[in-house]
Amino acid sequence: MLVDSFGRKITYLRLAVTDRCNLRCQYCMPAEGIKIVERKDLLTFKEMYRITRVLSELGVNKIRLTGGEPFVRKDFISFLDMLSFNDKLDEINITTNGALIAPHIPKLEQLNIKNINLSLDTLRADRFLKIKRRNLFHETYKVFENLLESSLNLKLNVVVQSGFNTDEIVDFVSLTKDKNFEVRFIEEMPFNGSGQRDMQENWDFTKILAEVQNSFENINAIATKKSATAKKFQVKNFKGTFGIIPAFTRTICNDCNRIRITATGMFKNCLFDEGVFNIRDFIRQGASDEQLKNLFINTVQKKPKNGFIAEANRLSNGVSESMWTIGG
Ligand code: SAM
Ligand code: SF4
């Protein structure tokens, strides 16, 4: 079993299957000059499968596939097929920008993918272009509608960006009146590859909740699992729910059950650490399953108490990476 030095049990892996992406969200990537890694430096699907199998034998029972954009990687659907044979995994979840997934929705339903998190930060086409720097609003919104009609459990990720979309928080919550899905407001983090964006206002958990409370009465908190990233709420008599993820204020670290592996095989105990070990190199040097298990057990021991300590322990100055390389 994977248990860290604070007694937290690790059961959830976030795996970035690629560093490539078809969009250029301003909070995630710089507009130009992105250095994608060479293909040979990416984990292969076979390596990912092996890492997942070994981790699942150590108690990891949930996996989230992310990136970059997972659906831009060739054969991603075959990888999902492969993963679905691992009966130790109770949940396979995907985070996607949605633009490419319309033809794959029936297959995702067939594979019993548990949660699809669709990133859609705005309900307006002109803003979509500004935020995501690609003109794919209508394709993405159509996928949102298709997913609502599907059997998949849908969560909509909205990064709350000062100066861009804060006036749409209420519109998003209004959508949950008749539609059964969860909208999740994520605090923006300074992970866009060029350091902290110049923000006019600090839209943290408290401010986001206050914005909703100003427009709706009778908001009830909903109990969630201890390890949940979002604090969840529902407006009385609404079909759907809304959640707020204190990603940057980091008030959820005490119950963290997550580890991350980047597309190049870097193991991360925390979103805010620099990466603690390269599993790809270890595997390519011929590591056995037993050696991999020992590595995971020992590395998890070093999981920092919280994201502030992880950030302080970084050797480099501040967080300069991007979510597309970290695997959001
Ligand atoms: N490309 C996929 C997508 O956009 O959903 C998956 C990868 S993306 C890095 C995963 C999640 O991280 C998305 O929901 C995205 O909105 C979020 N994200 C990216 N950069 C962020 C930032 N600087 N602050 C907060 N969330 C961020
Ligand atoms: Fe691509 Fe997702 Fe990053 Fe946007 S948030 S640039 S869609 S990886």
Which tokens in the block code for residue 291? 């050696």
- Nearest-atom number in ligand 2 for the CA of 68 is 8
**What are 195-229's pLDDT values in tens digits?**
556 677 889 999 999 999 999 999 999 998 888 88
**What are 145-186's pLDDT values in tens digits?**
999 999 999 999 999 999 999 999 999 999 999 999 999 999
pLDDT value at residue 193? 66
pLDDT above 90 as % of the chain: 78
Say how many residues make up the chain: 328
Residue 99 scores a pLDDT above 80: yes
Stretch 87-115: mean pLDDT, rounded?
Answer: 96
Interatomic CA distance for residues 152 and 150, integer angstroms: 5
Q: What is the DSSP string of 65-113?
A: EESS-GGGSTTHHHHHHHHTT-TT-SEEEEEE--TT-GGGHHHHHHTT-
- Nearest-atom number in ligand 1 for the CA of 69 is 1
Q: Is 323 in the pocket of ligand 2 (CB under 6 A)?
A: yes
Pocket of ligand 1 (CB under 6 A): 21, 27-28, 66-67, 69, 95-97, 119, 157, 159, 186, 188-189, 191-192, 247, 323-324, 328
Stretch 40-48: mean pLDDT, rounded?
Answer: 98
Q: What is the DSSP string of 212-257?
A: HHHH-S-EEEE---TT-SSEEEEETT-SSEEEEE-TTTT--GGG--
pLDDT value at residue 322? 67
The residue ranking higher by pLDDT, 326 or 87, is: 87
Alpha-carbon distances, residue 207 vs 21, 204, 211, 213, 238 (angstroms): 31, 5, 6, 10, 22
Interatomic CA distance for residues 281 and 299, integer angstroms: 15
**What are 148-159's pLDDT values in tens digits?**
999 999 999 999
Q: What is the mean pLDDT of the chain?
A: 93
pTM over 0.85: yes
pLDDT value at residue 316? 65
Residue 245 scores a pLDDT above 60: yes
Interatomic CA distance for residues 98 and 10, integer angstroms: 28
Ligand of minimum distance to the alpha carbon of 131: 2
CB-CB contact of 283 with 291 (8 Å): no
Which tokens in the block code for residue 92? 């396979």
pLDDT value at residue 242? 98
Stretch 269-294: mean pLDDT, rounded?
Answer: 94
